Structure 1
Amino acid sequence: MTNMNWEAAPNLNGRVAIVTGAGGGLGRSHALMLARLGARIVVNDMTEEAAGKVAREIADAGGQAIPFAASVTDETGIAEMVSRTSAAFGRVDILVNNAGILRDKSFAKMTMAEFREVVDVHLMGSAICTKAVWDIMREQRHGRIVMTTSSSGLFGNFGQANYSAAKMALVGLMQTLALEGEKYGIRVNCLAPTAATAMTGGLLPKEAFERLSVELVSPGLLALVADDAPTRAILCAGAGHFARSNVTLTRGAYIGAGPDAPRRVVANWAAISDRTGEVVPDYGFMQMERELASRPGDAEEKTAGAQT
């Protein structure tokens, strides 16, 4: 991290950010960038050595940072981290849930212990850290929370059943917390990074590893944590490219009841799957509302072309 004029970077001045798993890799890149933008940083990692090194790096460049060593699965340790953050800086504005592990194996070879370990760190760790800051953010009526999801969760990836399940679960957690936090000024988003780190080093060819620098992912964070940040966004980032991913709902087709309903679902699969006019629901019950609003008369319009 190079020295710079911190006063010339006003975007996050006065804000306080906790970044988990920030002792190296993507978390370190996140912490350095948020500090460069003016935020005061709490650098979390498993060891004091790793967290302290990044905190000193920020301080040496003119920023403010404190290290805190704790596993994100340790509720007591995380509660102490948040308490120390409030004591040191007076508030908590941003939480970046970045900490994670890999235990890759095909599902046939994976033990339930290996499955549970990954879910505990990614999903439960993010929930524990978020719960620890939630009341503070509600009381101050401002908060920005970023969950780290993955294309493996959004779209699947061979040999990563545990990781995929945990990462997609974080999207569901984001969706609900964004709704619950809206009236308190809390905005919750997901970042799906593609980056070359120690965790992914063995999975990527050398050429891809060189192009997928962590520094090319972190710039996306500002859009997710700034005062005018969206909420419920899934930002995919890698190699300097940024895209949005969405969970959508097709118009579908009215099938109704009756003994032949299963056959008609199969016969109308193309109409049910047709993505023309699909929407991104504002909330989960929107699916039920659309289902209840459909009528038997809709069947001809929506399924006529798919009848056999």
Structure 2
Amino acid sequence: MYVASNVECANSRLRAEAAEAQLDDLTERLSHVERDKMDVAQKVATLGLWQQQLRTERSKTMGLQQQLWKATSKHERMTQQLRDELDETRDHLQVLMQVKVGLVADGQASREKISQADAAAAALRYETARLTKLNMTLHQQIQRYSDFRSFRSSLLDPSTTLCGSCVELADEAPVAHGFPKRKWIFSNTKRVIMERQEGLAVFLDRVNVSVRNCHHPDCMSRPLLEKFLMLADMRYTFIDMQLHDNTDESTAAPTRPAAITFIPPPSSLRHSFADTLGSRRSDVPDLLRHSFHGTQVRHRRHSVHVSSADRIKKFRELAPIKVAPKADKKRMSLETIEEVAE
């Protein structure tokens, strides 16, 4: 029995060890299962989180899809609108091109009209300038002729103090006969202008010769001639007048007469004084022809365009005259009838 009990104890011990081994195995398996369960729970939690993220991303995707649909529809609408505007702009551009063609034609016609107007305006300005110059010349001509008449009236005025030789000017034909009417100045006939020019030149030559030979201190012929040559508006240049010698009075000879300066005639009245001196008084009316009083036919012409040097040389041969030194750039220039005739 003891052996049997030992055997049973041993068997029981073996069975207990086997049971413990199985229990340990089960415990280990249970621990593994627990660990697996925890892993599965973690995985389930992770999977749930992923599902939540997936749902969130899906909702975002749906929102983006809706925005994309809206943007696509808006883009289509804008594209259609731009196409419509492009068609309208193209039609408007075609209309503008047609209008541009008309405007270009109108602009070319306007430029032609403007060029024609400019040409007409230039011609009008030229004609206006020419008429203005002609009017000014005519006014100067009339004014100068009035100066001639005033000078003659002053010489023939009884109240004017003249010496004996200058008083005889009233009997000379160039001075005695009256000038033609001033309205003849408007005549465009060159022959009348030339005849008037020659008559005035002979008158001025005769007066200048008389003034040159005058030595009386109280005679007013020289001041009147100087006043005639020196106009008030100073439109003409003048030469220096030397009425006396430059020598000292203490050294000058008492019997020597004072030197009288020769007054050269205007450049526009370049007639020979020597021919005037050589002609007789009866020939003067013939020189004046019918433009001055009492003349009908001209037998000879007054020589013209004689240089100043030749004229002065002839005067020196005719009379002892001391010519004043010629100043630089002080040549006399009178606006008279000859310049209008040219």
TM interval, short-chain normalised: under 0.3
Greater RCO (CA < 8 Å, at least 6 residues apart): 2
The structure in which a higher percent of residues are helix is 2
The structure in which a higher percent of residues are strand is 1
| Length-normalised TM-score, structure 1 | 0.24
